Amino acid sequence: MSDFKNLLVTRDGFVATVQLNRPKVLNALNIDLMTELVDCLEALDQDSGIRAIVLTGSEKAFAAGADIKEMADATAVEMLTRDQFARWDRIRKIKKPIIAAVSGFVLGGGCELMMHCDIIIASETARIGQPEILIGVMPGAGGTQRLTRAVGKGLAMEMILTGRQITAEEAMKAGLVNKVVPIEFYLEEAQKLAREIAEKPPVAVRLAKEAILKSFDTTIEMGLEFERKNFYLLFATEDMREGMSAFIEKRKAEWKGK
Ligand code: DAK
């Protein structure tokens, strides 16, 4: 877990922090970095010692987008056969909660990567945008879909068609980020939230995350059905017995993740 070229990974109790680390190019997301990131997230997802993940960049840039220099000469067929989107799809399948801690430039693929996360804490300095239009393309890793669902059609159209970056404050008002804090605290705040979630019963956290994400790609009827099945499933866990007994016995629950 320590031999990544483009990532720094630290662990503190049940929380892992993954930091994008290509500072010279503002964490531009090249294929190497994305390969390492997906491998790292999948390994943490399988690691029983980790219950929540924080994904961050630097104060100057969470990520300034996909690596333009790597894409500039590609043909459509090369882009198609590289099939890099498959890698991004694997992030969507991570079961553990991922909290993004963003600061500085959060652009293009950087914004799309942030939107793959479950909860977003932003520093006051974050500037968030989908500037692909300014280089002759459009978002390709979910921007048109996830941004529109998060902020609504009007603002998504404006951001994607003009390339305008919004401030952290504007992003919070629009419902894109959960919380905005001074730059000194954004990472700490995200780690605090991750610790809080990591103290909860892990199977319930996992099934609740899964049900929330399901709401994005199903009807309300099917979504409610899905939620109900996950709810019933939790009655098969030791943690459910423990949680309810602890409530009745007026003591703190001890979660086993079983
Ligand atoms: N790619 C490559 N290098 C980048 C970069 C990027 N996106 N952003 C910055 N850099 C590099 C700069 O080239 C520069 O390197 P040197 O020239 O010194 O070697 C270094 O980082 C510092 O950048 P600047 O000198 O430009 O710094 P400034 O503070 O003056 O400006 C900036 C910061 C963020 C405003 C500016 O760097 C900028 O406009 N960057 C590009 C932002 C952008 O257009 N982002 C969207 C890229 S398109 C896909 C998945 C996703 C996507 C596509 C495909 N697949 C799965 C196939 C997403 C597409 C995009 O994100």
Rounded Cα–Cα distance for residues 189 and 101 (Å): 8
Annotated catalytic residue within 61, 63, 64, 66: 66
- Residue-wise pLDDT for 103-157, tens only, equals 999 999 999 999 999 999 999 999 999 999 999 999 999 999 999 999 999 999 9
What is the CATH classification number for the domain harbouring 13? 3.90.226.10
Residue 258: inside a domain: no
Domain co-membership, 17 together with 136: yes
Distance 69 CA to ligand 1 centre (A): 8
Instruction: Tell me the pTM.
Output: 0.97
- Residue-wise pLDDT for 25-68, tens only, equals 999 999 999 999 999 999 999 999 999 999 999 999 999 999 99
Residue 83: inside a domain: yes
Q: Confirm whether 221 is a catalytic residue.
A: no
State the closest ligand 1 atom to the C-alpha of 163, by its place in the atom list counted from 1.
44
Distance in Å from the first CA to the final CA of the chain: 26
- Residue-wise pLDDT for 223-241, tens only, equals 999 999 999 999 999 999 9
Q: Confirm whether 109 is a catalytic residue.
A: yes
Domain hosting residue 169, numbered range:
7-198
Query: How many domains in the chain?
Result: 2
